[in-house]
Structure 1
């Protein structure tokens, strides 16, 4: 496939001098922190270019915004505010894929054609599953972001992830049901890569524990979700697992409320972005939420405090996917730091990340060497209050080991 210009190009923005510097405690190198430019050897100060292909627009634009803000915060943190590694300024180029895999592939090829050796982003699972193979074909490092599809793990040796995956969501959901043997579980999701990945994960986890699993899948374009809420209720499950993303969430929860689904079955879902909290209304306290991050969930790790400080100073607030960007930047900086600020040897960048454990926003994170899964804690959460007063509280922390996915065979 030839490289095209289907995706509008945005100018490269140099982040070598970030205005809001984060004060770091001693010993932060273990969290993926590079030194100042004074550590650079030789006279070569050529920039390192990183391409971010993410959803600036489209149905997951809110997630993309959080990812970008987190990446900037993580870059500042990991480079001690210099925006450079070994004296090499890190430059980023943003490309908007609008959640469209074809646009993402075009953008990735465009960046690779301009000699970008490091790509990151992928807000949507369908995008990550298309960009990963392009990265492998061209031997560039690719760090997928919020995209949750399990197939991203082990996709190829050049593909990593900075967020959680569907299996980890499902293990967190399974913690609410206890013994799954003989129980019926229905998955309510969108009929896309994300939704299908959740169905597969629930069948793998809960089905493997003896539950009967079926699914109600809605077209991603559907706006009237009442028929799907009705189908979910009619299935009479012991557990309704809702896996939903994007700007139709409000319509979904309205439909579930109207069909009185919450009084008919136990409902478990992932806690979405803060803007979604009021959408649950009085039913919020009847729902069991799994979560991979909300602001304050980690209890104030050094990285979390630094991220929140940076994002707040830049006029925003940390949210569900801010850590995914932050973690991606930590990974990029660590890989470059291990290679003296050079991106010339992609295999060396890959090797430096495999098996790396570090202090992230949520605590200790580990990049599993065998398949590049990101091992991380998850949370059981309760949402109390209604409207603008709705607030999440972490009821239980599930360790990285408790929710770890099985090792995937590396595909390429």
Structure 2
């Protein structure tokens, strides 16, 4: 196929992809967003070409307010720490000053698109951020239309991977979550898996995702779905136990989560089957009560998960010194900053095609260990973690059980949609 022109270079066009499996985050409490409004630095100056000292304008669009504001702050803190780390404290790379403009999307795709258009109109060649999957799916086409580099953040939807040549991601995707759960089975073929969820869009999407991923690898996947209004969850816990599954995959959201975990524990489900759910942020740890010590958690990240490698230590130190608290999505911001610096260092300040090429097939040391940007679809291959909770209530702390290598939990490659 004929390549498309972009800026001063070209980006090769890859074959169109098949539609992606719609997968939501597999945590009992959802993993999602980021935010901030305001502006750091001055508007870029300089004219034409890619001369030294030309400023590179980076738009950070995330959830500073709204339901995902806590996640947004984690992302933003990580990004600033990562920018300082990757530029060795100078804020510059290859002679170019990195200027960051922050915009709040409040978790609203319309606000995000409006902010992104405004930033692009002011000469921003790089956009980053996005915790909410719905926002990411609106931002990605905009990046392709305007030929700007877009690095999505914690948004977990698999549909972002391979969506177009200009879109990358700095976090994990749902497929990696589910493969981590599957790894706990020691092989899915012939195993019985029950998805316990609410009978809602979120719950049904998780059932579909587990069937697609683990069912596709030979597991027999069924489900137990409770009405979202249900408060007595004991009957559903009993139903799960009666089915005698090898693995119970719990995807639950909302205020009834403590009641759910109490019911599962009282009915002896964790003693009868391996129970797996996603480890969300620190604030979620008390929700599990006595069941927390008996459940296996698939984990994207928690402080200390990486064993204190040099990059993780740098992030923890920098965020702490700035008054922040490292958490679930802090690495996503840090990684995004590393990718921005790489794109500018190797690709220049204005040539988006060169930035894209610089990131494709790039392997680097990240907070979670060695990670790789897959060239075919821009998936971010990364290790994932399995954890347990020690203690309960406010004293609950995650403990690393195993690390799943990035190739073991890599989603299948898919060609870019162009």
Whole-Å Cα distance in 2 between the matches of residues 369 and 360 of structure 1? 18
The answer to whether the 8 A contact 1:167-1:198 is kept is: no
1:74: Cα distance to partner? 0.3
Which of residues 100, 122, 135 is equivalent to 1:127? 135
1:128: Cα distance to partner? 0.9
The 1:10/1:318 distance shift into structure 2, 3 A limit, reads closer
In structure 2, the gaps of 5 or more residues are 1-34, 44-48
1:354: Cα distance to partner? 0.3
Q: Could you say which residue in structure 2 is the equivalent of 1:79?
A: 87
The 1:68/1:258 distance shift into structure 2, 3 A limit, reads same
The 1:405/1:46 distance shift into structure 2, 3 A limit, reads same
Whole-Å Cα distance in 2 between the matches of residues 270 and 134 of structure 1? 31
Q: Could you say which residue in structure 1 is the equivalent of 2:12?
A: none
The answer to whether the 8 A contact 2:197-2:251 is kept is: yes
Whole-Å Cα distance in 2 between the matches of residues 227 and 271 of structure 1? 24
The answer to whether the 8 A contact 2:226-2:236 is kept is: no
Whole-Å Cα distance in 2 between the matches of residues 251 and 305 of structure 1? 36
The 1:174/1:148 distance shift into structure 2, 3 A limit, reads same
Which of residues 285, 289, 305 is equivalent to 2:297? 289
1:109: Cα distance to partner? 1.7
Q: Deviations over 1:12-62 (max 9, x none)?
A: 21299xxxxxxxxxxxxxxxxxxxxxxxx9975332111111111222211
Which of residues 361, 364, 368 is equivalent to 1:358? 364
Q: Could you say which residue in structure 2 is the equivalent of 1:252?
A: 257
The 1:216/1:89 distance shift into structure 2, 3 A limit, reads farther
Whole-Å Cα distance in 1 between the matches of residues 281 and 222 of structure 2? 27
Count, aligned residues: 372
Whole-Å Cα distance in 1 between the matches of residues 86 and 409 of structure 2? 27
Q: Could you say which residue in structure 2 is the equivalent of 1:402?
A: 408
TM-score calculated relative to the size of structure 2: 0.81
Whole-Å Cα distance in 2 between the matches of residues 374 and 207 of structure 1? 23
Pair 1:330-2:357 in alignment: no
TM-score calculated relative to the size of structure 1: 0.83
Whole-Å Cα distance in 1 between the matches of residues 144 and 198 of structure 2? 30
Which of residues 372, 378, 382 is equivalent to 1:372? 378
Of 357-366 and 48-57, deviating more is 48-57
1:182: Cα distance to partner? 4.8
The answer to whether the 8 A contact 1:149-1:197 is kept is: no
Q: Could you say which residue in structure 1 is the equivalent of 2:351?
A: 345
Q: Could you say which residue in structure 1 is the equivalent of 2:277?
A: 269
Q: Could you say which residue in structure 2 is the equivalent of 1:33?
A: none
SS of the aligned residue for 2:416 comes to: coil
Q: Deviations over 1:248-270 (max 9, x none)?
A: 3x532333424657623542111
Of 124-133 and 108-117, deviating more is 108-117
Whole-Å Cα distance in 2 between the matches of residues 338 and 277 of structure 1? 41
The answer to whether the 8 A contact 2:38-2:103 is kept is: no
The answer to whether the 8 A contact 2:77-2:333 is kept is: yes
1:391: Cα distance to partner? 1.3
The answer to whether the 8 A contact 2:58-2:99 is kept is: yes
1:102: Cα distance to partner? 2.0
The 1:141/1:257 distance shift into structure 2, 3 A limit, reads same
Whole-Å Cα distance in 1 between the matches of residues 160 and 118 of structure 2? 22
Which of residues 188, 192, 212 is equivalent to 2:197? 188
Whole-Å Cα distance in 1 between the matches of residues 186 and 310 of structure 2? 34
Whole-Å Cα distance in 2 between the matches of residues 364 and 173 of structure 1? 21
Q: Deviations over 1:102-134 (max 9, x none)?
A: 222222222222221111111011111111111
1:217: Cα distance to partner? 7.0
